[in-house]
Amino acid sequence: MPVPVPRQRDTSATESGLAVLHTAAPAVAATGVAQATPLATPHTTPLTLLVIEDDPAGSLTVPEILDADGHRIRLRTARNLTEAERLLTPDVHCILLDLSLPDASARTPGAAAGGSATGTANGTANGTATGTAAGTAIAVDELIALRQVLRIAPRHAVLVLTDEDDAERAAEAVRVGAQDFLFRDELDGRLLSRAIRYAVERKRADIAQYKLAESKLRAQENARLERGLLPTPLLEGSDLRFAARYRPGRSRALLGGDFYDTVRTPDGTVHAMIGDVCGHGPDEAALGVELRIAWRALTLAGLCGDDLLATLQEVLEVERPCEEIFATLCTVDIAPDGRRAGLCLAGHPAPLISRPGRRARLLPYENSGPALGLLPRARWPRRQVELGGTWSLMLYTDGLIEGHIGKGKERLGQDGMVDMINRHLDRGLSGEGLLEASVTEARRLNGGELTDDVAVVLLSRAEG
């Protein structure tokens, strides 16, 4: 059935695949379009319409079709779905499909429910279907043609063209996925121009909404995954209090290259660890999770000190994406009585200890070993530290101390961090409040978000 859209008479659409609309009443059409187009398409090039219909003559014309900027809407014509698929290039913005396309059943054999492609194309099933059944079969075939167009052009706006007495079929086409429908007898340039632009904008909005929903879903899934990878301290039976703060440097991430963990072994020893994989990407975050899980497994298996770090280095060497990747680590094992601890440092900043009536200070770190992954046969000596009866021990990564102070090049550093902690202790802060105040002040001194990952762990004990 012919579609009333214009083509150039001097160039066959089937030869060129492209026809430019000519003017029947340019002044009226341009004015009418300008007044009836509240929604403009942001394309810098003219819109292109692909018409799928079977009229070989293409003799009918309507007034010139213009977009919101006054450019002619370019026209391509395909006589069947095979030709349409060939002409469907990226510069096509909208498709106008004739629902009376006769070869729909040939393109989708056996798709009609309860009948063959041949039977439905002829309007009967083996020559025995009633007139009502035949009409239903034809309608199903025409929607199959629409579904085929939606399959081959999922990102294009689609308009359907039908007769005025087929309003129900047209509405069903919109429910299937078309942006809008047009009646053949009411079609003119002004209406078609507006319908094309509205369909393009509606499709663009649908795609944007779908991408946004997909992005939100992916972000939610990633957040659930990352939350699941954050550690849950295993301190049941211990009298130590635990607090932690974690801020990844990557934007909108929940997990970075810093990692920490705390577990209590059956003998009553509390083991704590904090580490930092060099770099800030997802690969570094994944490696940090692997090292944390490996540390927990090795600790629960009874390894400690140099033996544990040597095994962790083997894990890192196997799992790291390249040989330049290394990780710093600080491990502390606190005796069951809580009064002393063993300390191992692998290229990591020393912990900070605070006691009642004394200024907070860094634990000794003269005998620290290299970062994991730098020296194949490195050793990490374990130093014994006296803690006392009441104390707080803070483990941290370098993201806390490498922030700047003001707009200059000066950084907070370990000395600046110690002074900052002492100020907060003088205010009576402890536990979660102490960590939150410290990270907040480091950000304030830096003039904004810290660029590196930040992890801080605080273990506290009160005697009696």
Q: pLDDT of 225-251, one tens digit each?
A: 667 678 899 999 999 999 999 988 766
Rounded to an integer, the average pLDDT of 60-82 is 71
The answer to whether the CB of 362 falls within 8 A of the CB of 393 is no
CATH 3.60.40.10 fits 230-461, yes or no: yes
Q: How much of the chain is in helix, strand and coil states, percent to nearest 5?
A: 35, 20, 40
- With a cut of 90, say whether residue 68 has pLDDT above it: no
Cite the beta strand spans of 248-308 per DSSP E: 258-264, 270-277
> Mind listing the pLDDT tens digit for each residue in 254-313?
778 899 999 999 999 999 999 999 988 889 989 999 999 999 999 999 999 999 999 999
DSSP letter at 271 equals E
The reported pLDDT for the residue numbered 102 is 61
Q: What was the pLDDT predicted at 137?
A: 42
Residues contacting 361, CB < 8 A, separation 6+? 352, 353, 354, 418
pLDDT in tens, 364-382: 877 889 999 999 999 999 9
Q: Please report which confidence band the pLDDT of residue 57 belongs to, taking 50, 70 and 90 as the band edges.
A: low
Q: Do 226 and 448 touch, CB atoms closer than 8 A?
A: no
Integer Cα distance of 158 and 200 in angstroms: 8
Q: State whether residue 428 is helix, strand or coil.
A: coil
CA distance 112 to 134: 11
Kindly write down the DSSP assignment for every residue of 41-104, as one continuous string: ---SS--EEEEE---SS-----SPPB-TTSPBPEEEEESSHHHHHHH--TT--EEEEETT-TTH
User: Distance between CA atoms of 50 and 46, rounded to whole angstroms?
Assistant: 13
- Decide if pLDDT at 15 tops 90: no
Taking the C-alpha atoms of residue 4 and residue 10, their distance in angstroms, rounded to an integer, is: 18
CA–CA dist 342, 389 (Å, integer): 16
Once rounded to an integer, what is the mean pLDDT over residues 22-45? Answer: 37
In sign, the C-alpha dihedral spanning 170, 173, 175, 181 is negative
Residue 69 banded pLDDT, cuts 50, 70, 90: low
Q: What percentage of the chain has pLDDT greater than the value 70?
A: 76
Question: Locate tokens 């762990």: which residue?
Answer: 457
Can you give the pTM of this predicted structure? Answer: 0.59
Q: Which of 4-18, 189-203, 405-419 is the least confident region?
A: 4-18
Domain 13-210 architecture: 3-Layer(aba) Sandwich (3.40)
pLDDT surpassing 70 at residue 99: yes
Question: Does residue 349 or residue 127 have the better pLDDT?
Answer: 349
Mean pLDDT of 188-206: 85
Res 78 pLDDT > 70 = yes
* Average pLDDT of the segment spanning 389-416: 94
What pLDDT is stored for residue 72 in this prediction? 78
The arithmetic mean of pLDDT across residues 354-369, rounded, is 91
Assess whether pLDDT exceeds 70 at residue 430.
Answer: yes
Residue 427, pLDDT above cutoff 90: yes
For residue 121, give every residue at least 6 positions away whose Cβ sits within 8 Å of its Cβ, in sequence order, or none.
Answer: 102, 105, 106, 141
pLDDT reading at 359 higher than 80:
yes
Phi, psi of 51 (to 5 degrees): -100, 130
* Residue 214 predicted with pLDDT over 60: yes
Residue 169 CA to chain centroid, in angstroms?
Answer: 38
The Cα–Cα gap between 73 and 57 comes to 21
Domain with CATH 3.40.50.2300 in the chain: 13-210
Concatenating the DSSP letter of every residue in 434-453 gives HHHHHHHHHHHHHTS--SS-
